[in-house]
Amino acid sequence: MTEIGVVTCGGDCPGLNAVIRAVVVRASAAGARIWGVRNGWRGLAEGDLVPLTRDDVRGLIGRGGTILGTSRMDPYLHGSGLETLRPAADRLDALVVVGGDGSLRTAARLATEGLPVVGVPKTIDNDVPGTDTSFGFDTAVQVVTDAIDRLTTTAEAHNRVMLVEVMGRTTGWIAAYSGIAGGAEAVLVPEVPYDLEELADSIRRRHRSGRPYSIVVVAEGVPGPDGRPVVAGEDSLGFARLGGVAHALAPRLEELTGYEVRVSVLGHLQRGGSPTAYDRVLATRMGVLAAELALEGRTGTMTALRGDEVVAVDLDVVREEPRGLPPSRYRLASWFFA
């Protein structure tokens, strides 16, 4: 019998359970046995695998988080690569790895050591190379757009400037898309340098022209007033944890505009809860294809959205740089500023 594993790695993201469900439904229909690896790579290292049947995944499509748990353990940083994952890894004919660019890079490295992996890209940041988009992004943009709608009415009531800090790591996808959808007066993204005095001028012009409130969306990866990323400590792998740039910019913007500035940091709200219908469908399409690739032994691959099709691409694509926001998309957002 074909033995297929599925593991969710790195930060969680709406749609992970929809992928697990799709892998289980599709692979079990072909007669395979499916193993859920608990808590990311750590579960594989510890042999913490649970059998998953169709019954175990009923009702999962709309549930946030991941029933398998996740962790930021990395077999190369915290162990000796594939060796650390044996003997559990050896029991599997294929392992579906659902991860962001970091976890998929680890998967690509394990593939060169002989682990038969199929990658599925997930992230709210939308920065995984090789795919036009990842599930989780649409949900995050919807959450931020809803928040902007709410912040706009209170900003208007008090004649305030609202700085809305959003996730996205080194990219401005969430900021730009939610800024467009929410009608923000300005959006700051890491890909485009900003000038705080120019921003203050445009806000002043807007307020003086009879619209005395503004929403400014700030991506967490935007540098602070000193030109350096603003960090809120380190994650468990020793990587900088971004956060705090809106608070760092607020006093200066208040000084330059003369208006009251308030900060709203949306944080993990953007990652929690139910995926949108779009993300449920995309995650399901990717999970079904991943199961088929695993069943056919087409490992060393990743599922990707290309145009309107979900296709298999070489997993090595994840070694490329994170996919930044294209300048044209920022230009589109900027037509509507202030």
Q: Which residues bind ligand F6P (CB under 6 A)?
A: 11, 100, 123-125, 167-169, 220, 235, 241-242, 271
**Closest distance to ligand F6P from the beta carbon of 59 (Å):** 26
Q: How far apart are CA 249 and CA 220, in angstroms?
A: 12
Phi-psi region of 124 (alpha: psi -120 to 50; beta: other; left: phi over 0): alpha
**CA gap 329, 45 in Å, rounded:** 42
Distance CA 172, CA 237 (A): 23
- CB atoms under 10 Å from CB of 99, counted, come to 29
The least distance separating ligand F6P from the CB of residue 217, rounded to whole angstroms, comes to: 14
Let me know: does 196 contact 252? Beta carbons within 8 Å.
Answer: yes
- What's the closest the beta carbon of residue 279 comes to ligand F6P, in angstroms? 14
Q: With respect to ligand F6P, which residue has the nearer C-beta, 185 or 220?
A: 220
In the bound state with ligand F6P, the residue whose beta carbon lies nearer, of 169 and 206, is 169
Determine phi and psi for 189, rounding to 5 degrees. Answer: -125, 155
CB-nearer residue toward ligand F6P: 172 or 300: 172
- Closest contact distance (angstroms) between CB of 275 and ligand F6P is 15
Based on CB atoms, which residue is closest to ligand F6P, 124 or 230? 124
CB-nearest residue to ligand F6P: 167
With respect to ligand F6P, which residue has the nearer C-beta, 14 or 116? Answer: 14
Sheet holding 161-166, edge to edge: 186-188, 214-219, 161-166, 261-265
Q: What's the distance, CA 318 to chain centroid? A: 14
State both tokens at 153.
Answer: 């009415």
Catalytic site residue 125?
yes
Q: Which is nearer to ligand F6P, 2 or 71 (CB)?
A: 71
Q: Which residue in the list 12, 74, 101, 125 is annotated as catalytic?
A: 125
C-alpha 221/C-alpha 52 separation (Å) is 38
Question: Smallest distance from the beta carbon of 70 to ligand F6P, in angstroms?
Answer: 10
Catalytic residues: 125
